[in-house]
Amino acid sequence: MTPYLLAAPLIAFMIAFYVLPVVAMLMRSVSDPSWTLQHYAALPDDVVFLKTFANTFYTSLIVTLASLLLGYPVALALVRAPRWALVILVLIMLPFWTSVLVRSYAWMVLLGRHGLFNEALIAAGMIDRPLRILNTPLATQIAMSHILLPYMILPIANALRQIDPSLLRAASGLGSPPWRTFLQVTLPLSMPGVAAGVLLVFVLALGFYITPAMVGGPREITISMLIAQRVDQLDWAYAATLSAVLLATALAIIGAFYRLPGVGNAFRMNAR
């Protein structure tokens, strides 16, 4: 009986202040004005929704790809260059431990009209007038990749760390050149980490709100931003419908891939 008693206070607390609120809000999608599925039925013809949903997926995809391309080499360096491991770890963790708000702000500073990036290009004579980057989808993609990169690096590094180094020695002992050892031994064995990282980054990216709202501008918005806008307009039925779709999408993706090796673990430890 004791285990139940120990867990009960937290479970009760979370049901009262988290589960029930979210469920009550989601119920508005089917109970407004009376029991109905009309809000869901309207979605396939809802241009704003479709565009936003597509844009959110597209952004998540770009961000995931960018994180993978940028993250894999860093993970490899973290594991294979022990002398630099501490420096690399600090450089990864420094932004990781900084709040999303501050990191998004940093990108505003860098990418703004008179931001560092534009000033540097002008000073170098490469452009005459500042480029418009802030408040474009590109800014969102850059900033989100930056913010989510550690979530890609850490699971991959974990998987790489578990590769028995004698396998690599064996491969090179058998005459395999380094690049082939990488392609045929390291890469396949690190796939659980890659899968975990990709899934984690993609799902987290789908729900991003702060960063696109700060650096992405008002035109190409994400689902989260659309939800927030509708709440501001007190259109709860619509906000709840979108929330249900967003939540269901995230859960479906996780559910579909949860059984892949390494993925479940990454989600439990995604903490920080």
Partner 1 sequence: MIGTRILPATVVGLILLFLAFPILVVIVVSFSSATYLTFPPPAFGLKWYDAYFSSADWLRPTWLSLWVAGAVVVMATLLGTLAALGIARLPRAARVVAAGLVLSPLIVPGIVVAIGIYYAFARYGLVGSPVGLIIAHTCLAVPFVVTSVSASLAGIDPRLEQAALSLGATPRGTFFQVTLPLIRPGVLVGALFAFITSFDELIVALFISGSGAVTLPRRMWDDLRFQIDPTIAAVSTLTIVLTVALMWGAHLLRKRAERQVTKEA
12 to 71, contacts with partner 1 by CB under 8 A? 13-15, 17-26, 28, 70
Spatial distance between the Cα atoms of 230 and 242, rounded to a whole number of angstroms: 10
- C-beta closer to partner 1: residue 45 or 204: 204
Q: In which residue are the tokens 């974990």 written?
A: 158
- C-beta closer to partner 1: residue 129 or 272: 272
Spatial distance between the Cα atoms of 74 and 266, rounded to a whole number of angstroms: 18
- Contact flag: residue 252 with partner 1 (CB under 8 A): no
Q: How far is the CB of 221 from partner 1 (least distance, A)?
A: 12
CB count within 10 Å of CB 209 equals: 14
Could you tell me which stretch among 7-15, 29-37, 168-176, 183-191 binds partner 1 (CB under 8 A)? Answer: 7-15
Site for partner 1 in 170-199 (CB under 8 A): 178
Cα 214 to Cα 28, 61, 63, 81, 118: the distances in Å are 28, 20, 17, 37, 18
Q: How far is the CB of 79 from partner 1 (least distance, A)?
A: 12
Site for partner 1 in 79-118 (CB under 8 A): 88, 91-95, 97-103, 105-110, 112, 114-116
By rule CB under 8 A, what count of residues binds partner 1? 82
Which of 138, 140, 120, 139 lies closest to 130, judged by CA?
Answer: 120
Which one-letter amino acid corresponds to residue 187? L
- Contact flag: residue 266 with partner 1 (CB under 8 A): no
Spatial distance between the Cα atoms of 71 and 67, rounded to a whole number of angstroms: 5
